[in-house]
């Protein structure tokens, strides 16, 4: 199984390429959707890495994939500018996922 990157930044793609990860750089909503669709059709791809900025553009599509597909795993990653997450993002995620306040 391979990893595949969907990025909005050429520097992120270059860094991942040095680690052996293929990918694409996109900016517009339709480009992101097409890149995701293409990656989903490739049975060799087991992990899709997507930058957080692009992940926010297609939040609903990512949720749908996470709920209905066993493979691929989708991982949102920060780009070279850092993460856009709030400090309590993990506790918020747990609260939303299982309804437990920690």
- Work out how many domains the chain is built from and give that number: 1
- Look up the domain containing 20 and give its range: 2-98
Beta bridge partners of 7: 25
From first to last of its 102 residues, the chain has per-residue pLDDT tens of 899 999 998 988 998 899 899 999 999 999 999 999 999 999 999 999 999 989 989 999 999 988 888 899 999 988 666 566 665 655 666 677 676 665
pTM: 0.77
pLDDT at 78: 81
Torsion sign (Cα): 87, 88, 90, 93: negative
User: 10 Å Cβ neighbour count for 6?
Assistant: 26
- Give the whole-angstrom CA distance, residue 63 versus residue 55: 10
- Which stretches of 1-102 are assigned E, i.e. beta strand? 2-7, 22-25, 45-51, 73-77
Q: Look up residue 76 and give its two tokens.
A: 């949102």
Measured CA distances, 25 to 16, 35, 59, 65, 67 (Å): 12, 9, 18, 21, 26
What CATH number has the domain bearing residue 17? 3.40.50.10580
């Amino acid at each position: 199984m391979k990893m595949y990157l969907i990025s909005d930044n050429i520097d992120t793609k270059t860094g991942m390429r040095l680690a052996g990860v293929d990918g694409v750089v996109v900016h517009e909503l339709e480009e992101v959707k097409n890149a995701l669709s293409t990656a989903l059709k490739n049975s060799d791809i087991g992990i899709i890495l997507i930058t957080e900025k692009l992940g926010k553009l297609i939040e609903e599509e990512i949720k749908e994939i996470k709920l209905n597909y066993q493979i691929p795993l989708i991982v949102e990653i920060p780009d070279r500018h850092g993460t856009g997450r709030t400090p309590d993002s993990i506790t918020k995620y747990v609260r939303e996922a299982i309804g437990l306040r920690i």
